[in-house]
Amino acid sequence: MTRFTLTPPLIALILAVILFFAGGLINPDFVNPAQATNIVRLAAFLGIIAAGQTLVILSGGEGIDLSIGAVVTMGAILTFRLTGGDNSLIWVGLLASCGAGVVIGLINGIGIALLRIPPLVMTLGMTGVVQGTILVLTQGEMIGATPPLMRQLIAEPLILGIPGVIFIWAMVGIGMWVLLERTTYGKQLFAIGVNRTVARFSGVRVQWIVVLTYILSGLLAGFGGFILLGFAQTVFLQLGNNYLFPSIAAVVVGGTLLSGGKGSYWGTMSGALVLTLIDSLLRAAGLEQAYQLIVFGVILLALIVVYGRQRSLRQ
Amino acid sequence: MNTIRLQRFFSRQSYVISLILLIVVVAVNYSFQNNLFELRIINNNLRTMMPLMILAVGQAIVVIGGGVDLSVGTMVSMINTLLVTWITPESTGGEIALAFALVCGIGILGGALNGFAVAFLRLQPIVTTYATSFIFSGIALLVLPRPGGSLPRDLVTFYRSTPLDLPLGLYVIGVLILFWIVLRSTRYAQYLFAIGSSSDAAYATGVPVRSVRVTTYVWSGLFAALAGIALTLSTGSGQANIGDDMTLNSVVAVVLGGIALRGGGGNAIGAVIGVIILGVIRNIIFFAEVPTWSQTLVNALVILAALAAPGVIRLIRRLIQR
């Protein structure tokens, strides 16, 4: 008989449901299907952007990708500029945003795996480079437009009143599950996350897996920027910054260990839902922005206390 | 034999490479700006670097102890808003001293909150200090919803002063170096390095791991308060997000100063050198007349190159030996 255990992703999901109905206490208009759909829609953007962060954190070795905020901005701006609002050029935007993400991820990966620069520093340094590149490319002028078709396919209700981005998120979720659970890459990713030396001795090409992981992270962030444009409709230099730390928080709240080797993408999906719900609840409660920030910080701290704890020194 | 001794020297004196880098960037800066060594210019440069210098020393202590503090920038913002609220142009010396003492106490409290969460609740430093950073920036916004405030003229003049014809910044650097030399000679510093390199081994040999870890964040909170005071004197006004960007810069400065992010090694003075390198690079870009829109990119590329240099050297050495 398999015993029913409360795993962190499950706790997060239950918490999300409780939070949603708790919202009804604050504001009776909060609990309805339209609001639920809206929250899942908002969580989808964070969830897609946090997918790459999940892989990077799973890879261990203090793995973290601080450049994804800038990559998201880059992806959105490239799509905005290259399509110029033309539906027939959407594929150019998609290719460019994903391509830029791959290149940035490759540079991150080389710096981290070959030059042994700590991930925090390397991706932080790349953030500046990406932001600088954006400034050089745009010269501070945001010329372009969002193709109307992107809005229809991503942000507006597509089938049964459900927006397209939720379907995209579901596909990303399935893709991530297959990648992590059913491919050699996934097995090797968990292996290097647990112990790189052991993984190397059992024949895993550690450096190659690390480079590949950062490439995937860049790719997913670039794709996230492309998707985000369909919702935001407009671009600005800080567009992606608001997703950087929430992406890390979503991964942690979903029960993935920051030390690597243990976790899941469905945990991150639950984490994204919880964070988005808290954010929406605080807005619905009509709190001033200052209180919103404080309460968000306290709740985040409480969530990490519940299941983000590291092992004790005394064992 | 000699190479081993050389390697040991570089690993102990981690800031030597930073010092070489500093000399290089200062030389480049001098070639663009011939009055670089004039007292007035040195004073101006050090004055803008001072807040980050103080902050980076606090960050260095946390990093050496095996953690990282992502809340320092928002703590500086919070201190700034409190100071401009408590100090008015009519404040007396006693009131100003009281305000300074109070914000130092608040910095210590904020640091203690971080330290308690990391050491006693065993939370991961990155997410914990990220979470508390929201609390600090919320308080900052609560204290000062709109930018404003002004300080007594004397206070602002003091920050620009050159006692005994030497820039105030030099005195601050002197105090920071003295602080580190004194700290380095204590048993506490040995504990600090021990928990940074391996908290398990430190625990096994009887180091009070948890309390030492708490103190690293308390230091960082106190230094954030001091940096907040310096920044407030420098700008003379308040803004709820004024210091937020300093967090990441303090981490970069620590790394440029030769302090390994994995903890257990390094010299806090290196962080001061790291801040000066960052400032000088910014100077060079300004005086080299790099086009406005390319400045961020050039700045970032130079910093990335500086961060990558040790890795590139190591890689080349490995390839040659093969």
pLDDT above 60: residue A308: no
Residue, of B260 and A165, whose pLDDT is higher = A165
Domain ranges of chain A: 8-23+30-307
Residue, of B71 and B265, whose pLDDT is higher = B71
Span of B40-49, B100-109, B197-206 with lowest mean pLDDT: B197-206
pLDDT of residue A4: 62
pLDDT above 80: residue A174: yes
Q: How confident is the model at residue B236 (pLDDT cuts 50, 70, 90)?
A: confident
Count of Cβ atoms closer than 10 Å to residue B304 Cβ? 21
To the nearest whole angstrom, how far is the Cα of B39 from the nearest Cα of chain A?
32
Query: Searching chain B, which residue's CA lies closest to the CA of residue A251?
Result: B127
Model confidence pLDDT, tens digit, residues B127-172: 788 888 889 999 998 888 888 878 877 777 777 777 787 788 888 8
pLDDT of residue B36: 76
Selected for mutation to probe chain B from A196, A289, A301, A310 (highest B CB count within 10 Å) is A301
Mean pLDDT of B106-128: 88
Residue B243 maps to a domain: yes
Give the DSSP letter of residue A309. Answer: P
Q: Complex ipTM above 0.95?
A: no
d(CA A71, CA A57): 17
d(CA A52, CA A55): 5
Burial class (CB in 10 A: 0-12, 13-18, 19+), A207: middle
Instruction: Calculate the average pLDDT of chain B.
Output: 85
pLDDT above 60: residue A1: no
Selected for mutation to probe chain A from B70, B120, B129, B135 (highest A CB count within 10 Å) is B135
Residue B7 maps to a domain: no
Please answer yes or no on whether A310 and B122 come within 8 Å at the CB atom: yes
From B132, B142, B314, residue closest to A297, measured CB to CB: B132
Q: How confident is the model at residue B289 (pLDDT cuts 50, 70, 90)?
A: confident
Query: Searching chain B, which residue's CA lies closest to the CA of residue A294?
Result: B135
- Let me know: does A106 contact A167? Beta carbons within 8 Å: no
Contacts of A142 (CB under 8 A, 6+ apart): A77, A80, A234, A235, A236
Residue B239 maps to a domain: yes
- Residue B138 belongs to domain with CATH number: 1.10.3470
From A115, A295, A301, residue closest to B312, measured CB to CB: A115
Burial class (CB in 10 A: 0-12, 13-18, 19+), A239: buried
pLDDT above 80: residue B298: yes
From A125, A135, A294, residue closest to B303, measured CB to CB: A125
pLDDT of residue B148: 82
To the nearest whole angstrom, how far is the Cα of A108 from the nearest Cα of chain B?
11
From B135, B255, B293, residue closest to A136, measured CB to CB: B293
- Chain B positions in Cβ-Cβ contact with residue A313 (cut-off 8 Å): 199-200, 203, 209
Please answer yes or no on whether A304 and B141 come within 8 Å at the CB atom: no
Beta bridge partners of B238: B148
Beta strands in A24-173 (DSSP E): 157-159, 162-163
Q: How confident is the model at residue B7 (pLDDT cuts 50, 70, 90)?
A: low
Please give the residue range of the domain that contains residue B102. Answer: 15-27+44-288
Helix (H, G, I), strand (E, B) or coil at B33: coil
Please answer yes or no on whether A121 and B251 come within 8 Å at the CB atom: yes
Mean pLDDT of B215-227: 95
Model confidence pLDDT, tens digit, residues A221-269: 999 999 999 888 888 888 888 888 789 888 988 888 877 888 889 889 9
Task: Give percent above pLDDT 90 in chain A.
Answer: 36
- Chain B positions in Cβ-Cβ contact with residue A308 (cut-off 8 Å): 123-124, 127
Model confidence pLDDT, tens digit, residues A61-103: 878 898 999 999 999 999 999 988 888 888 999 999 999 999 9
pLDDT above 60: residue B15: yes
Contacts of B275 (CB under 8 A, 6+ apart): B49, B52, B53, B56, B249, B253
Span of A26-30, A135-139, A231-235, B255-259 with lowest mean pLDDT: A26-30
pLDDT above 60: residue A312: no
Q: How many CA atoms lie within 13 A of B74 on its CB side?
A: 23
Task: Give percent above pLDDT 70 in chain B.
Answer: 95
User: Per-residue DSSP letters for B247-293?
Assistant: HHHHHHHHHHTT--TTSS---HHHHHHHHHHHHHHHHHHHHTT--GG
The yes/no answer on whether domain A8-23+30-307 falls in CATH 3.40.30 is no
- Chain B positions in Cβ-Cβ contact with residue A298 (cut-off 8 Å): 131, 135
Virtual torsion, Cα A137, A138, A143, A146, nearest 10 deg = 70
Span of A245-249, A302-306, B171-175, B211-215 with lowest mean pLDDT: A302-306
Residue B128 maps to a domain: yes
Query: Nearest to residue B115, comparing CAs of B67, B171, B43?
Result: B67
pLDDT of residue B182: 92
How many distinct helices (H) and strands (E) make up chain B? 14, 0
pLDDT of residue A173: 94
- Let me know: does B162 contact B40? Beta carbons within 8 Å: no
pLDDT above 90: residue B33: no
Model confidence pLDDT, tens digit, residues A27-52: 777 778 888 888 899 999 999 999 99
pLDDT of residue A307: 61
Residue B121 maps to a domain: yes
To the nearest whole angstrom, how far is the Cα of B162 from the nearest Cα of chain A?
35
d(CA B222, CA B87): 19
Q: Which of A198-207, A223-232, B3-12 has the highest mean pLDDT?
A: A223-232
Residue, of A114 and A152, whose pLDDT is higher = A114
d(CA B214, CA B240): 27
Query: Nearest to residue A74, comparing CAs of A42, A56, A47, A96?
Result: A96
